[in-house]
Structure 1
Amino acid sequence: MNLKALRSLSEYFGSAGVLSLRFTCKSLNLSYRVRAFRAAADFLKSLERFELSNVFLAGRSMGARAAVALGRQLCAEEEGLLKGIVCVSFPLHPPGQTHTHVKRSEDLRALSKVPVLLVSGTVDNMCERKLLEGVLEQTQSSSYVHWVEGANHGLGVKGRSEESVLDEVNSQIFTWIKDHV
């Protein structure tokens, strides 16, 4: 939750008057993370002070997989609540194990009716570009990938400041969300 990238995005959204809830899960277990996402969503839905609308789920790395898994569930349960999913550094496969991309992309390929933004680095060793593009050709949902040139899985880019990369990423995410509200 206190990763610089998450704080930066939350502050970017807050400065534009957009409410965001961020949290972290210490476990790498996907089903645990999906349950945590679900609990946060259920909590927000239970609040009587405001009505949820224009909901976007987002996650980074394993959190992106959890956001997609919950998004798939929500689309089947509640038509229209979820407006989109943002995946930052989606871990399509472990480093050097590209064969696992089929299993790791099941929820992404099964999504329907909800647009997806993926932000990934061109040298991310956990998301080979050609494999991701092939997966997205199999999805029913509209999708867009913003490739950060020279970025690794942590979105670090040699020769660029972390702030300039975060500005690029935050701007892309915010613009995409604005276009899908």
Structure 2
Amino acid sequence: MLDAAWLESAAAVTELAAGAPLLVGGRSAGARVACRTSAAVGAVGVVCLAFPLHPPAHPERSRLEELLTPSVPVLVLQGDRDTFGSAGLVEQEAADRPGIQVVPVPGADHGMRVLKASPLPQREVAALVVSTVAAFADRILAAGR
């Protein structure tokens, strides 16, 4: 259902973009959709914010194959306290895939929220996410020129 809705919307986005490269992404389930549909929409890159590698407390139900689906560069920003799979686990699982860049978000959970005692305050987490996504987009778009 989510894939179908995105594919329908992506057609309109692509038409409005008038041939500009399409970078797709999402958070959690949206990241899964972006990975699964990246080829169908002709994406040049995928951004995953808090990719849900597995349901909490069920690492045996891996969604790694979805993360490995895109044939274009993938950026994953993942909290090191994420109960859907920590940044370390995502890095480990995707280690043999050079097109996937995992950026740990210190102290962040699945919603990119941090505790008061976290190494980065919430404002710095937001800045890290924004600057990392911007740098990834710049690199991907520059490579396509």
Q: TM-score by structure 2 length? A: 0.85
Task: Output the CA distance in 1 between the equivalents of 2:39 and 2:89.
Answer: 21
Letter of the aligned partner of 1:106 in structure 2? E
Which residue of 2 is the match for residue 99 of structure 1? 60
Structure 1 135/157 Cα, relative in aligned 2: closer, same or farther at 3 Å?
same
Which residue of 2 is the match for residue 157 of structure 1? 114
Structure 2 segments unaligned to the other structure (5+ residues)? none
Structure 1 60/132 Cα, relative in aligned 2: closer, same or farther at 3 Å?
same
CA RMSD of aligned residues (A): 1.8
- Contact between 2:79 and 2:108, CA under 8 Å: does it hold in 1? yes
**Residue 23 of structure 2 is aligned to residue 65 of structure 1:** no
Letter of the aligned partner of 2:113 in structure 1? G
Which residue of 2 is the match for residue 27 of structure 1? none
Task: Output the CA distance in 1 between the equivalents of 2:95 and 2:131.
Answer: 25
Instruction: From 20, 23, 30, give the equivalent of 1:56.
Output: 23
Letter of the aligned partner of 1:92 in structure 2? L
Paired positions, count:
138
- Contact between 2:87 and 2:105, CA under 8 Å: does it hold in 1? no
**Residue 5 of structure 2 is aligned to residue 36 of structure 1:** yes
Letter of the aligned partner of 1:105 in structure 2? L
Matches within 5 A, 1:1-181: 32-47=1-16, 50-74=17-41, 81-101=42-62, 104-112=63-71, 114-139=72-97, 142-159=99-116, 160-181=120-141
1:40 Cα deviation from its structure 2 partner: 1.2
Equivalent pairs: percent with the same residue?
Answer: 30
- Contact between 2:79 and 2:86, CA under 8 Å: does it hold in 1? no
Structure 2 SS opposite 1:100: coil
Deviations 1:79-112 (A, max 9, x none): xx421000000001111101111xx122222322
Q: TM-score by structure 1 length? A: 0.69
Structure 1 SS opposite 2:104: strand
- Contact between 2:75 and 2:103, CA under 8 Å: does it hold in 1? yes
Structure 1 segments unaligned to the other structure (5+ residues)? 1-31, 75-80
- Contact between 1:44 and 1:52, CA under 8 Å: does it hold in 2? no
Letter of the aligned partner of 2:10 in structure 1? A
Task: Output the CA distance in 2 between the equivalents of 1:137 and 1:164.
Answer: 27
